[in-house]
Chain A
Amino acid sequence: MLTLKIWIVQALFIFFTTESVGELLDPCGYIKPESPIVQLGSNFTAVCVLKEKCMDYFHVNANDIFWKTNHVTIPKEQYTIINKTASSVTFTDISLLNIQLTCNIRTFGQIDQNVYGIRIISGLPPEKPTNLSCIVNEGKKMMCQWDPGRETYLETNFTLKSEWATEKFADCKTKRDTPTSCTVDYSPVYFVNIEVWVEAENALGKVTSDHINFDPVDKVKPSPPHNLSVSNSEELSSILKLTWINSSIQGFIGLKYNIQYRTRDASTWSQIPPEDTASTRYSFTVQDLKPFTEYVFRIRCMKEDGKGFWSDWSEEASGITYEDRPSKAPSFWYKIEPSHTHGYRSVQLIWKTLPPFEANGKILDYEVTLTRWKSRLQNYTVNDTKWTVNITNDRYIATLTARNLVGKSNAAVLTIPAYDFQATRPVTDLKAFPKDNMLWVEWTAPNESVNKYILEWCVLSDKAPCIQDWQQEDGTVHRTYLRGNLAESKCYLITVTPVYADGPGSTESIKAYLKQAPPSKGPTVRTKKVGKNEAVLEWDQLPVDVQNGFIRNYTIFYRTIIGNETAVNVDSSHTEYTLSSLTSDTLYMVRMAAYTDEGGKDGPEFTFTTPKFAQGEIEAIVVPVCLAFLLTTLLGVLFCFNKRDLIKKHIWPNVPDPSKSHIAQWSPHTPPRHNFNSKDQMYSDGNFTDVSVVEIEAANDKKPFPEDLKSLDLFKKEKISTEGHSSGIGGSSCMSSSRPSISSSDENESAQNTSGTVQYSTVVHSGYRHQVPSVQVFSRSESTQPLLDSEERPEDLQLSAFTYMVLVRWGRGIMRLARKHMMKTGHREAK
């Protein structure tokens, strides 16, 4: 009971809820048509009809209706008020594919409310399908395809229809992913004409293609023949027999075939003439094939009358034709080995293996015969392609034949000339050039008849020896290509030798490249000589291994740090070049590129600096200056010499040299003063008029004699007595002294004597440059000043002493002059 109550309450709740929602969802009106599909470019009119109840509730009528497309209000000009409840809107030339159209009302003058909405879909009717064609793959059902025509923008269904005169077949509906083809679901019936067409239909229309009427057997694509096999014939080395199994379609129709074949290593196919295979068959014998050659075959078929389609190609099958005797003699040549002793020569006979198309089978061995002039023939069987034999210096005839299972080739004949044979008659105009990725050699034949030509070539390299390869050409050939594995960017030295009946002719050589490339390295430039405004550059020729081609020219690039680069082209034959118009005292950077026909390569950069002066320029300046200076000096000296008395008077008047004084002459017995009249005359213009000369001859380097020492004692006494008016020697006071002085070697004594106002300095003889003075000489100074640092520093002391010695010697010289003068005067006076 309780459950029943709960159920009733729930039911009532659902009922009322549904009612209220229904009220809410009940639209205020509707649009006609409901789901329009419109043709693009056409006109379209929609009508919105309001419900009376809604009109009363909202107090609106058709005038309050406004339309929107994709939320944009449509201008009122497109509206038409049909009556109080209905308003229509018209679109002209619809171009959008999908339009959302809504009917709206404005309630209470301000609130917009959506009444109803529809979606207008636009598109195009289908075009007539064209190019309808069908194919019957053997063992499968018929498939037809067509061109559907323009895009319709609508869902368009294509239906393939087919029928006989007496029967209709089920429609073939296209799948969504393949709308332009359809495979029927019934098996094709051959020899019964069928009519086929396509219907294309969408919401805007239906259109039918042209009908095609055909026999399905004329649309067959047969399965390819299978089990293709190839067999050869021992009787005929030029044929191969093909057999195969035809597809089952040949039970209904006649077949024709395409048979193609190629050699194993070829890429292009040859075809048996179609007229030879124009009817149903199960085998075919292919003729005119090369012996002992592997051929690959394939076959396909189609309906005999050409209607329908070719089958796919069958699987390939191959077979080898039977052997035949070698069709050509091998290429045959020889090399004389260097060792030549005891009247014999070592000759290496060489030959090439025959290519398969000439060997016509497996070459079992070679037979070589050697015949010396007017002697019997010698036979040799060789398995290799070379054979070395010692022969005499005579002329020989060698022959060579190749042998296979079937027979022997013709003999290749070669004349080995006598040792002293002089080869002549070379080919002329030898040329070599690359073409079509091959290296061709061309020459002009000599006037004489040539049996054959031998072409030899090798790669020139600085690192490896020239290993020669060779080939033989017939005597009628004057242009061929090198049949070897040639490499690009390698320099080949090619030699052509004509071979005459009596032996080989002279050889001609040429260098060539299969393909040139830019050099691997650029040349390294350096300076040979650098001048103020020019520099001579030099470089080495590039090694052949890095040339990669013929060096056609060089380009020298040079520049200063701030300047533009200048390029100069130089012929490849040069190895030096002079850069001119350079700026002096400037750093130049120079590099060099070498060019082949295919491009160039820069070498390393080199820098040099031009000098400030040209060679000899400095000498040109310095030498004249020096000469001028020398001349001036000379003139000055001459002038001084001429005016020496005047100069002497003003600059260095005569100073008596104490060292040249003779104490002996200065004894107590001798009047202390000499009346040097002549001296007075001589120094009449100076203050050197009152001079006493004391000569101590052993002052420098001689030990004093006892007489001298004795005199010295006397001198000391005298000196003490004349202390008040004696003057020292040294410094600038030398000229002011008018009396001679003497120094004592006894230091202590000196120190005692100089305890008053006079100090004595120590003069070290020959102290200059580590010379040990032999005698210490003392001199007295009138100065009352201490001896400053010189007393405390021995080196200064030595320097002072040296100075003093210079002055002393200088003075001594002057004194000698004076003395000589006086002696002369004295002599004159005595006279």
Chain B
Amino acid sequence: MQAQLLWRTLPSLVLGLLFLSMPAMGSCSDKYPELLGQLQKQADFMQHTNTLLDLYIRSQGLDKNGLKEHCRERPGAFPSKDALQRLSRRVFLRTLDTTLGHVLLRLAALEQDIPKAQDLEMLSVVKLNIRGFKNNIHCMAQLLPGSSETTEPTPTSPGASPSPTPTLDTFQRRLEGCRFLHGYHRFMRSVGQVFREWGKSLSRSRRHSPHQGLLKGARRMQLSGRNKRLMPRVQLAPGSHRGAPGG
């Protein structure tokens, strides 16, 4: 049991150390609400399938003959919302950073299957956005109190596994990519919900003491497991994200 715990903890610990030991180049914002708002908006934006999945489905020809129906998230590929909500803020951030690192790796692998230069350009923009998100995670981690608190386990992330085995045929590989991206968008939606919880706890804590509220909120996040319903989002116009970051 202990060995299993160690095995599960060690990679996270290493990544956490790497994460924290990143050389500080540009300065991070020291305004927690602002940074939280940025993270939330990024997550909200990235959850939309039209930013990545739709592009992939279209480029891979999976939008015909009902193939789209088969593009469902593979269970366990990404942490569930409940799992994320159970994590402490620091672990949550670390998990998020790790998962997004894997997404980047997977996207680099998917690039090979995207023939169109325009789609590739879109994909590179998505990757840049994910890197930007990771940058904000880094900054948020610096703002959290007790940054040395890294003992919590990180949930297993199937996304951390390398790209599908080479034995899969092209169709299966494409379908797997589609499922992965489907999971990615779902994951980002869950991340957005978690950050929204953070925001709510921030506004509650502001009524008392901002700093204390932040700590309490962080603690409560670890305990909270309620499944909150997402606020209905404004439907974007078709192709409206073509001009989105990097668009």
Report which A residues bind B (CB closer than 8 A).
138-139, 163-168, 186-195, 213, 215-216, 223, 245-252, 280
CB<8 Å pairs between A and B, sample of 28: A163-B25, A164-B26, A165-B138, A166-B25, A166-B134, A167-B25, A167-B131, A187-B128, A187-B247, A189-B128, A189-B132, A189-B245, A190-B42, A190-B245, A191-B42, A191-B132, A191-B136, A192-B38, A192-B136, A193-B139, A195-B25, A213-B27, A216-B245, A247-B243, A249-B243, A250-B240, A251-B48, A280-B234
List of B residues within 8 angstroms of A167 by Cβ: 25, 131, 135
Minimum distance in angstroms from B183 CB to a CB of chain A: 22
Q: For the complex, what is the distance from the CA of A734 to the CA of B122, rounded to whole Å?
A: 158
Q: A165-B24, A168-B25, A187-B247 are in contact. Are A251 and B132 (CB under 8 A)?
A: no
5 more CB-based (< 8 A) A-B contacts, given A190-B42, A193-B38: A187-B247, A190-B45, A191-B38, A195-B27, A251-B244
Contact A251 B25 (CB under 8 A): no
For chain A, what secondary structure do more than half of its interface residues adopt (helix, strand, loop), or is it mixed? Answer: loop
Contact B132 A248 (CB under 8 A): no
With most chain B CB atoms within 10 A of its CB, the pick from A139, A186, A187, A249 is A187
Q: For the complex, what is the distance from the CA of A245 to the CA of B37, rounded to whole Å?
A: 26
List of A residues within 8 angstroms of B145 by Cβ: none
Question: What are the 6 tightest A-B residue pairs by CB atom distance, in nearest-first order?
Answer: A187-B246, A248-B240, A192-B132, A195-B26, A189-B132, A191-B38
Return the chain B residue nearest A223 by Cβ: B243
List of A residues within 8 angstroms of B45 by Cβ: 190-191, 251-252
Q: A189-B128, A192-B132, A252-B45 are in contact. Are A164 and B245 (CB under 8 A)?
A: no
Q: For the complex, what is the distance from the CA of A190 to the CA of B247, rounded to whole Å?
A: 11
Query: Interface readout for B33-55 with A: 1 if CB under 8 Å, 0 if not?
Result: 00001110110010010000000
List of B residues within 8 angstroms of A245 by Cβ: 237
Contact B22 A138 (CB under 8 A): no
Q: Which of A213, A215, A247, A251 contacts B26 (CB under 8 A)? A: A213
Q: Which of B22, B42, B134, B236 contacts A248 (CB under 8 A)? A: B236
Query: Interface readout for B132-146 with A: 1 if CB under 8 Å, 0 if not?
Result: 111110110000000
Q: Which of A168, A187, A246 contacts B125 (CB under 8 A)? A: A187
Minimum distance in angstroms from A63 CB to a CB of chain B: 60
With most chain B CB atoms within 10 A of its CB, the pick from A138, A165, A247 is A165
Contact A165 B27 (CB under 8 A): yes
Minimum distance in angstroms from B51 CB to a CB of chain A: 9
Q: For the complex, what is the distance from the CA of A245 to the CA of B240, rounded to whole Å?
A: 11
List of A residues within 8 angstroms of B138 by Cβ: 165-166
Return the chain B residue nearest A253 by Cβ: B41
Return the chain B residue nearest A213 by Cβ: B27
Q: For the complex, what is the distance from the CA of A138 to the CA of B38, rounded to whole Å?
A: 19
Q: A164-B132, A166-B138 are in contact. Are A188 and B243 (CB under 8 A)?
A: no
With most chain B CB atoms within 10 A of its CB, the pick from A166, A190, A195, A213 is A166
Query: Interface readout for B213-247 with A: 1 if CB under 8 Å, 0 if not?
Result: 00000000000000000000010110111111111
Return the chain A residue nearest B236 by Cβ: A251
List of B residues within 8 angstroms of A168 by Cβ: 25
Query: Is B172 positioned at the interface, with any CB of A under 8 Å from its CB?
Result: no
List of B residues within 8 angstroms of A139 by Cβ: 242-243, 247
Report which B residues bind A (CB closer than 8 A).
22, 24-29, 37-39, 41-42, 45, 48, 125, 128-129, 131-136, 138-139, 234, 236-237, 239-247
Minimum distance in angstroms from B184 CB to a CB of chain A: 17
Contact A194 B26 (CB under 8 A): yes
Contact A248 B26 (CB under 8 A): no
Minimum distance in angstroms from B182 CB to a CB of chain A: 20
Contact A165 B139 (CB under 8 A): yes
List of B residues within 8 angstroms of A188 by Cβ: 245-246
Return the chain A residue nearest B235 by Cβ: A251
Minimum distance in angstroms from B45 CB to a CB of chain A: 6
Q: A165-B138, A167-B135 are in contact. Are A189 and B246 (CB under 8 A)?
A: yes
Q: For the complex, what is the distance from the CA of A263 to the CA of B230, rounded to whole Å?
A: 45
Contact A166 B243 (CB under 8 A): no
Q: For the complex, what is the distance from the CA of A266 to the CA of B234, rounded to whole Å?
A: 37
List of B residues within 8 angstroms of A216 by Cβ: 245
Q: For the complex, what is the distance from the CA of A251 to the CA of B234, rounded to whole Å?
A: 8
Q: For the complex, what is the distance from the CA of A165 to the CA of B133, rounded to whole Å?
A: 11
Q: A164-B25, A165-B26 are in contact. Are A248 and B246 (CB under 8 A)?
A: no
Minimum distance in angstroms from A163 CB to a CB of chain B: 4
Minimum distance in angstroms from A212 CB to a CB of chain B: 11
Contact B241 A251 (CB under 8 A): yes
Contact B28 A193 (CB under 8 A): yes
Q: For the complex, what is the distance from the CA of A192 to the CA of B25, rounded to whole Å?
A: 14
Minimum distance in angstroms from B31 CB to a CB of chain A: 10
Minimum distance in angstroms from B193 CB to a CB of chain A: 17
Contact B135 A192 (CB under 8 A): yes
Q: A187-B125, A192-B38, A192-B133 are in contact. Are A248 and B242 (CB under 8 A)?
A: yes
Return the chain A residue nearest B29 by Cβ: A193
Q: For the complex, what is the distance from the CA of A300 to the CA of B7, rounded to whole Å?
A: 57
Minimum distance in angstroms from A396 CB to a CB of chain B: 68
Minimum distance in angstroms from B17 CB to a CB of chain A: 15
Q: For the complex, what is the distance from the CA of A105 to the CA of B234, rounded to whole Å?
A: 86
Return the chain A residue nearest B51 by Cβ: A251
Contact B128 A252 (CB under 8 A): no
Q: A139-B247, A193-B29 are in contact. Are A248 and B237 (CB under 8 A)?
A: yes
List of B residues within 8 angstroms of A249 by Cβ: 243
Contact A166 B135 (CB under 8 A): yes
List of A residues within 8 angstroms of B128 by Cβ: 186-187, 189
Minimum distance in angstroms from A251 CB to a CB of chain B: 5
List of A residues within 8 angstroms of B241 by Cβ: 248, 251
Minimum distance in angstroms from B229 CB to a CB of chain A: 21
Q: For the complex, what is the distance from the CA of A165 to the CA of B129, rounded to whole Å?
A: 14
Contact B239 A248 (CB under 8 A): yes
Q: Which of B38, B129, B133 contacts A215 (CB under 8 A)? A: B38
Q: For the complex, what is the distance from the CA of A248 to the CA of B234, rounded to whole Å?
A: 12
Return the chain A residue nearest B238 by Cβ: A248
List of B residues within 8 angstroms of A189 by Cβ: 128-129, 131-132, 245-246
Q: A189-B128, A191-B41, A245-B237 are in contact. Are A165 and B28 (CB under 8 A)?
A: yes
List of A residues within 8 angstroms of B29 by Cβ: 193, 213
Q: A193-B29, A252-B41 are in contact. Are A138 and B243 (CB under 8 A)?
A: yes
Minimum distance in angstroms from B121 CB to a CB of chain A: 9
Q: For the complex, what is the distance from the CA of A194 to the CA of B237, rounded to whole Å?
A: 28
With most chain A CB atoms within 10 A of its CB, the pick from B138, B139, B240, B242 is B240
List of B residues within 8 angstroms of A190 by Cβ: 41-42, 45, 244-245
Return the chain A residue nearest B22 by Cβ: A166
Q: For the complex, what is the distance from the CA of A163 to the CA of B242, rounded to whole Å?
A: 24
Minimum distance in angstroms from B42 CB to a CB of chain A: 5
List of A residues within 8 angstroms of B24 by Cβ: 165
Q: For the complex, what is the distance from the CA of A215 to the CA of B24, rounded to whole Å?
A: 18
Minimum distance in angstroms from A350 CB to a CB of chain B: 58
List of A residues within 8 angstroms of B125 by Cβ: 187
Q: For the complex, what is the distance from the CA of A677 to the CA of B139, rounded to whole Å?
A: 184
Q: For the complex, what is the distance from the CA of A186 to the CA of B243, rounded to whole Å?
A: 13
Minimum distance in angstroms from A225 CB to a CB of chain B: 11
List of A residues within 8 angstroms of B25 by Cβ: 163-168, 195
List of B residues within 8 angstroms of A250 by Cβ: 234, 236, 240
List of A residues within 8 angstroms of B37 by Cβ: 191
With most chain B CB atoms within 10 A of its CB, the pick from A139, A188, A216 is A188
List of A residues within 8 angstroms of B242 by Cβ: 139, 248
Q: A192-B133, A192-B136, A248-B240 are in contact. Are A187 and B245 (CB under 8 A)?
A: yes
Contact B244 A248 (CB under 8 A): yes
Return the chain B residue nearest A216 by Cβ: B245
Return the chain B residue nearest A192 by Cβ: B132
